[in-house]
Structure 1
Amino acid sequence: MMNRSLILGLILVLSTATAPSCHGYYSKTVPYKPRPQKVTHLHFFLHDTMSGNNPSAVLIVRPNITNTTNFGNTVVTDDALTVGPDAKSEVIGNAQGLWVSTGKNFPTLSVYMDFGFTQGEFNGSSISVFSRNPITQTERQLAVVGGRGKFEMAKGVANLKTIFVNFTSGDAIVEYHVTVIHY
């Protein structure tokens, strides 16, 4: 019995030692063929709802400190994007991601979101935003840092204007005017 185990172990060691190893990575350089860039202007409204029985934004982290700016709070979102400011207007997509309260002395969020479109010309496409959002300013800008689908290789800027905010409930409606440069 001992000999069988020893022989099996020896065969295992020898077969692994002689097995070819794969290392490195595959890379192929191809000539760069510039494509014409497109500029698209988008206009929609984001509905961030933290209150009620069906919130679109949920607090998932609250640090064990007391402060006036909710520093450290982390919220996950699946907010509706609509054509108008009314919550009953046509839904054209959703903004999924999270925002973190990163301002210790001034209410500021760091926003990491993917704005996915589910209707119209851009159905199945999305833009990605990763930026600082000083929420007490009525008008501000966020950076568009990527995209997929019809917004491949996107970059640009989103100009935001707060239409409604309730700092007690956390509910907000924000108007977006987005300029996207993409292929």
Structure 2
Amino acid sequence: MAKSNVEAKLTDSVEEWYKNFGSTRQKVTKLHFFVQEVIGGSNPTVVKVVEATANSATSFGQISMLDNLATEGPEPDSKKVGRDQGTVGFADLNDTAIQMVMNFAFTEGEYAGSTISILGRNQLFQEYRELPIVGGTGVFRFARGSAVTNTYSFDTATNKAKGVLEYTLFVIHYEA
């Protein structure tokens, strides 16, 4: 099957990166941004796809998909940097903790077109939580590191819950 021009260009670009991989240096990049989450209402960014196990105080078994806006500041109208997309599942019978499979897809600025992937346990009621960075694409190819998150604000006053999550990422990756 023949490759399209776009596929060929991307494949060539990735192949060229790997050819030069031996001469690249590792670097650490610190990123800081906020995630705007809307649960419920007419335009939710977090949607429950599987209900929790009956009578579970920790929502064990509930699975949700998310596609949240990532911004420079905590205000929803601050500068957009990308999207926070993935799946979360409540995975603890005794504590409110979720298993996260999440990608930060950068759409603006110097990291546009790149992603960072996170896979790990998030204990929601701890003030600060550390999650592992397990990979990435583009600028963040071969990424690893840690993400620290906290709940910046959470408002349940309306018919839809709005949350703002703060993220600081320490990403080890290779210079291009």
TM-score between the two structures when normalised by the length of structure 2 = 0.81
Q: Which moved more, 1:167-176 or 1:126-135?
A: 167-176
Equivalence for 1:177: 168
CA distance in 1, matches of 2:156, 2:87: 18
Which whole-Å deviations, capped at 9, do the CAs of 1:98-143 have from their partners, x for residues lacking one?
A: 1000121110000001100000000000100001000001111110
Q: What SS does the aligned partner of 1:49 have? A: strand
Question: For the aligned residues, what is the CA RMSD?
Answer: 1.8
Equivalence for 2:30: 41
Report deviation, 1:170. 5.0
Equivalence for 1:98: 87
CA distance in 2, matches of 1:175, 1:48: 11
CA distance in 2, matches of 1:167, 1:182: 38
Q: What SS does the aligned partner of 1:130 have? A: strand
User: Which is higher, the Rg of structure 1 or of structure 2?
Assistant: 1
Q: For the structure 1 residues 83 and 71, does the alpha-carbon distance in structure 2 shift closer, same or farther, using more than 3 Å as the test? A: same
Q: For the structure 1 residues 64 and 137, does the alpha-carbon distance in structure 2 shift closer, same or farther, using more than 3 Å as the test? A: closer
Q: What SS does the aligned partner of 2:39 have? A: coil
CA distance in 2, matches of 1:58, 1:110: 16
Which AA in structure 2 matches 1:139? Answer: Y
Report deviation, 1:166. 4.7
Q: For the structure 1 residues 170 and 73, does the alpha-carbon distance in structure 2 shift closer, same or farther, using more than 3 Å as the test? A: farther
TM-score between the two structures when normalised by the length of structure 1 = 0.78
Match of 1:56 among 45, 50, 69: 45
Q: Report 1:12-161 matches (<5 A).
A: 33=22, 35-161=24-150
Report deviation, 1:33. 2.4
Which whole-Å deviations, capped at 9, do the CAs of 1:142-163 have from their partners, x for residues lacking one?
A: 1000000000100000011211
More strand by share: 2
Percent of matched pairs sharing the same residue: 36
CA distance in 2, matches of 1:151, 1:54: 31
Asked if the contact 2:53/2:60 (under 8 Å) is kept, the reply is no
**Structure 1 residue runs of 4 or more that deviate by more than 6 Å after TM superposition:** none
Listed as ranges, the gaps of 5+ residues in structure 1 are: 1-29
Report deviation, 1:167. 7.1
Q: For the structure 1 residues 164 and 73, does the alpha-carbon distance in structure 2 shift closer, same or farther, using more than 3 Å as the test? A: same
